[in-house]
Amino acid sequence: MPSHPPIITPMTLKIGIAGLGTVGAGVAMILRQKAALLAERAGKPIALKAVSARSQKKDRGINLSTVQWSKDPLELAKSKDVDVVVELIGGADGVAYDLVKTALTNGKHVVTANKALIAKHGIELAKIAEKKNVSLKCEAAVAGGIPILKTLKEGLAGNQFTRVAGILNGTCNYILTVMEKDGYDFDFVLNEAQRLGYAEADPAFDIDGVDAAHKLAILAAMAFSTKVDMKSLHIEGIRHITATDINYAAELGMRIKLLGIAQLAEGGLELRVHPALVPLHSPISRVDGVLNALEMQCDALGGLFMEGPGAGRGATASAVVADIVDIAAERGGTLYNVSASALKTLPVSPMKKHCGAYYIRLTVLDKPGVLADVSAIFRAKKISIASLIQKNREPNKPVEIVLTTHETNEASMMEALKKVAVLGQIISPPRFIRIETL
């Protein structure tokens, strides 16, 4: 479909994009190719007026010769020809932060896909936006093309939430899916994911759970109208997950997923990112590949499940453009469910108070009494064993024992595992993964 620059009128909402990578080019393409549709839905024309990128010569699949170019993104924040700054640079600080703060201070609307920025500086930036009576929107920052933030703030505005949880990182979900289907171990699949472009050259941000944690912080702030400090989140990644664990999970009727969970508990708000065994009957267990999924529990509606692409050019650009259309249609609203100054500070429940079931894998010498010793330690901590798998028994040789427990608290489980680890028959540190019944 050919792209033509729209005619600029006094009503036109003029857009400046900072960052013309995969997503930025996708946003530019939608704005150009669907200008008539967007104008109809927004009630006014929307025009791409300016861009900032390192190279003007790079082929991005769209003719941008008629827009203003700048190597300095801060020029967009100061330009009289820009009404909305779209920040697609990335990073919690540096240029991205300076750009968004300057744009808002200068009375410009901002749309961003930058979860790290919003997780760290969202409250500060939201207060500036509210003071200047402009919009700060970040639908694309969480779960890509799934309109989860709009659902939380608008579609479920009449609800109080008890839990928001789900698969928030497509890279980890892809790795775990391939490990399960092909039987490969983590390192091999990670290398393949990097070769195919599903994982970054430095994948730590994804596989160590940080990316999911940024998204969870934003979700929790919106769902529970609370301030969220990233330091209060419990964060684990998937480096320690093995094909052996995945196979045992399947035998137990479960699958392993990296989950982000924000839920109200007796001790306050739980905020945690970690791998978990999820029963096969749960819809979230069937979400494969690079897809994301969210499960929400609230008082009036009950439960809601949403699934879709969590990243990529089309999905993320779609969310960015939706925010732009909302601004054009004067559907502004605050970044959070309430004004930034009205956000509460809910107590965060420490991980040691978490209550749930556990998967435990032990490698032991097959000697009489080992299982009795483990059971005695668990019994002393009031931990009840739900199931047991023991295979390939050979006296005085290493053997694996897999246990699942009934619900217990994390502090008791960690204390028990410390005692189990020093038993003479234990060959390697016990492995544990939490079990979630979403």
**What are the residue numbers of the active site?**
215
- The DSSP letter of residue 338 is S
Alpha helices in 289-396 (DSSP H): 313-328, 370-380
From residue 120, how far is each of 96, 100, 117, 123, 370 by CA, in Å? Answer: 12, 13, 5, 8, 48
DSSP-based three-state secondary structure for 431: strand
3-state secondary structure string across 295-313: EEEECCCEEEEEEEECCCH
DSSP string, 82-118: -SEEEE-S--SSHHHHHHHHHHHHTT-EEEE--HHHH
Q: Which residues make Cβ contacts (< 8 Å) with residue 47, sequence separation at least 6?
A: 5, 6, 8, 12, 13, 14, 15, 31, 35
- Dist CA 182 CA 180 (whole Å): 6
Longest CA–CA span in the chain (Å) reads 85
DSSP-based three-state secondary structure for 347: coil
Residue 121: closest CA among 132, 131, 136: 136
DSSP-based three-state secondary structure for 129: helix
Instruction: Answer positive or negative: Cα dihedral of 46, 32, 8, 85.
Output: positive
Residue 70 has phi, psi (to 5 degrees) of: -150, 140
CA atoms within 13 A on the CB side of 341: 5
